[in-house]
Amino acid sequence: MSLKSDVPAAWQLSPRYMSRLWLSSIGVTQGKPENLMDLKPETKKVNGENWSVWETERGSDKETDRYWVSCIYGHEQIWLTQPIPASSTRCKTRNF
């Protein structure tokens, strides 16, 4: 069985298309990202460049207070995430 396309034959997939998802942003959450507790970073200027900075010092040892960092690809299509080590006090990234 083959699938039939409704796209006119004149249309073709361009080899210019790349099926990559580019890093679109970085996010920090309090608790797992699916809990939607996104933290807003401070914007700081360092050597003429803008940086996003999140303070991640923990006030307690509760799992819900743990911070997570996420690399967000393809305008929020894929989130790769991991907990931030408890000893960390700050996360920062250059704005892009």
Rounded to the nearest 5°, which phi and psi values hold at 39? -100, 140
Residue 25's contacts (CB-CB under 8 Å, 6 or more residues apart) are 72
Q: Is residue 69 a contact partner of residue 27, using CB atoms and an 8 Å limit?
A: yes
The DSSP symbol for 84 reads: P
pLDDT at 1: 58
With 70 as the cut, is the pLDDT of residue 13 above it? no
pTM (2 decimals)?
Answer: 0.72
pLDDT digits (tens, 9 = 90+) for 39-86: 999 999 989 999 999 999 877 777 778 999 999 998 888 899 999 998
